[in-house]
Structure 1
């Protein structure tokens, strides 16, 4: 790792092939100078920095930037699914400090757990990746706990191996959350839509969710994300994405249903909590007229205070009528293509990872 870091440091100034930044068609020229692009609403507005990430499209090519979190040192750690690199580490200026990993071709979920002052990564490989001819290939999904430089401490493999899943069922994990006692919550978001709970050692405890439950509140449709909501310090809850239902669902730490929050026309990804706020990428929405498919660019970002949507960077302003949230839509100029994850720094700036976005690096939204 030190050799690679030194090489990057020595060659950064000489790197000519920077990652291409697509033109979204929303920057306005004023007096022959680009005017600042501002996204969002109310107290949550942001200046867009499309060229934040300083990376080489030759040395560190990207396919999809899936998720990013900030570690205890203020570094931004991202997971993607390019066969040449799975994990990229940036400082807040966008400088690439390190990159590693080829063992996670379906790299999708990244969660940082600080244990005794040391950061560890929980990586989710969804079991799906694109080959060189553009075909989706299925392999075995996995969850790994690693050090920040990639040393694997243990894996959680297919639940079939411990009798939790029947033979033949796919296991395609998309996300991990770590509970207050170290319990590991795995979202099988591209597989069976269960939340699987393990001890901090990786020992299976229980599962819930899936489909066809007698109490439909327990059903999850595309359980894409999972996180712990600590906003009530005396009552932390597990929050699960049910993306095809355009909603988040809250459960107790042992899997008892609490509530559902429906977000019309927002197929949300993982919930990200910071202070009173919930942030989420919106991977898809439907336009006011016509229909789109999953490859079309229809995403944005949504921000909530409590259970109330207060801003939609890249989307239309939230609209409540008689207390009911109305549908939100992507802006016509598509400043954000597919919102897949949001990382929040201590200054409340946002870093947006996008899926299916023309190999775009993460973009920064600077709070104004």
Structure 2
């Protein structure tokens, strides 16, 4: 059993096992439900998107043009679903020497960075438009990197992108992909390794909610870019949450000190309507002032979440040996 208080779960031992499937993720990054499908964003070079049925069987896979696929959101327009695909630009190096994995400056490292992009597509993956490096529309200087990690889409088609592997700005675009403004790097409240962005609609005013992963924090902004508040959870390299009723469910990719993440760690944190931590799946609830630790967790780098109408959680894990999403049953 995982979790505490009223938020306890157990791992479904069968869902997503896919022992006979030749289709597997590389790093499993983001999840979303659409009708009877669970859709996964991955950076596997042969299939950037994998789709599962309600039993966890692979029923479709597609896409090779987004090799650094990291974020995924949907928008229904005129009864048709559109997808927003975020390619971070981090891709497998075709010149990899077969050994190097940590020297990011090496031309022979396994992963190398190129400029990322955001692409709006039809449900079946046909490109509607793409947005590239902000230097091309005057938002960045030439020396600034652009490696986006996630996107949130408003009902009117406008969208906000978090450049979490690049220059850490939030960039706001209209429904046609035209740049409007950027923010998130002003004053003392600066995003650091923004890893996920969503909308928090629990209050009187809808707010943007973004991860500042390197700071172990979540940060709230108004839609016009004004900083509102932060929530810090020491020890949690936290990603943007999903919402279940009035609670936030946030994946944590690592636990540990800010400059010393614990290897092969990762938990799911659940916060109540007052943003108080009430349950940790994969670890004990930390005492006040205590560092969260997920060492020994059954998870490996929790990266993306989705939930169904019964309150069950679906988990995507980064660097987890090609593991398919796991289903966590609400108890």
Matched position secondary structure for 1:244: helix
In the TM superposition, residue 331 of structure 1 has moved relative to its aligned partner by: 4.7
Q: Could you tell me which residue of structure 2 aligns to residue 240 of structure 1?
A: 210
In the TM superposition, residue 318 of structure 1 has moved relative to its aligned partner by: 4.3
Provide the C-alpha distance between the structure 1 equivalents of 2:265 and 2:165, rounded to a whole number of angstroms. Answer: 20
CA contact (8 A) 2:24 2:323 kept: no
Q: Mean Cα displacement is larger for which, 160-169 or 186-195?
A: 160-169
What TM-score, normalized to structure 1?
0.82
Q: Within the alignment, does 1:107 sit opposite 2:69 as a pair?
A: yes
In the TM superposition, residue 276 of structure 1 has moved relative to its aligned partner by: 0.4
Q: Which structure has the bigger radius of gyration?
A: 1
Q: Could you tell me which residue of structure 2 aligns to residue 299 of structure 1?
A: 266
In the TM superposition, residue 115 of structure 1 has moved relative to its aligned partner by: 2.3
> Tell me, which stretches of 5 or more residues in structure 1 are unaligned?
1-37
Q: How many residues align?
A: 316
The one of 218, 221, 230 equivalent to 1:260 is 230
1:228-273 per-position Cα deviation (integer Å, ceiling 9, x unaligned):
11112x4100011111111111010110111111111101012212
Q: Could you tell me which residue of structure 2 aligns to residue 78 of structure 1?
A: 40
1:65-119 per-position Cα deviation (integer Å, ceiling 9, x unaligned):
0010112x14211100111111011122102121101111101001122223322
Q: Could you tell me which residue of structure 2 aligns to residue 185 of structure 1?
A: 160
Matched position secondary structure for 2:48: strand
> Tell me, which stretches of 5 or more residues in structure 2 are unaligned?
102-109
1:34-72 per-position Cα deviation (integer Å, ceiling 9, x unaligned):
xxxx1111111111124411536762132110010112x
Q: Within the alignment, does 1:327 sit opposite 2:291 as a pair?
A: yes
The one of 113, 116, 133 equivalent to 1:141 is 116
Q: RMSD of aligned C-alpha atoms?
A: 1.8
Moved over 6 A (4+): none
Provide the C-alpha distance between the structure 2 equivalents of 1:39 and 1:272, rounded to a whole number of angstroms. Answer: 18
The one of 249, 257, 279 equivalent to 1:311 is 279
CA contact (8 A) 1:80 1:87 kept: yes
Matched position secondary structure for 2:85: strand
Provide the C-alpha distance between the structure 2 equivalents of 1:230 and 1:318, rounded to a whole number of angstroms. Answer: 27
Provide the C-alpha distance between the structure 1 equivalents of 2:311 and 2:82, rounded to a whole number of angstroms. Answer: 23
Over 3 Å counting, the alpha-carbon distance change for 1:264 and 1:57 in structure 2 is: farther
What does 1:22-171 align with in structure 2 at a 5 Å threshold? Answer: 38-55=1-18, 59-71=22-34, 73-131=35-93, 133=98, 135-171=110-146
Provide the C-alpha distance between the structure 1 equivalents of 2:151 and 2:234, rounded to a whole number of angstroms. Answer: 25
Provide the C-alpha distance between the structure 2 equivalents of 1:66 and 1:347, rounded to a whole number of angstroms. Answer: 23
Provide the C-alpha distance between the structure 2 equivalents of 1:50 and 1:178, rounded to a whole number of angstroms. Answer: 34
Provide the C-alpha distance between the structure 1 equivalents of 2:164 and 2:237, rounded to a whole number of angstroms. Answer: 13
CA contact (8 A) 2:23 2:58 kept: no
CA contact (8 A) 1:316 1:331 kept: no
Provide the C-alpha distance between the structure 2 equivalents of 1:55 and 1:220, rounded to a whole number of angstroms. Answer: 38
Provide the C-alpha distance between the structure 1 equivalents of 2:316 and 2:199, rounded to a whole number of angstroms. Answer: 20
In the TM superposition, residue 364 of structure 1 has moved relative to its aligned partner by: 0.8
Provide the C-alpha distance between the structure 2 equivalents of 1:76 and 1:251, rounded to a whole number of angstroms. Answer: 29
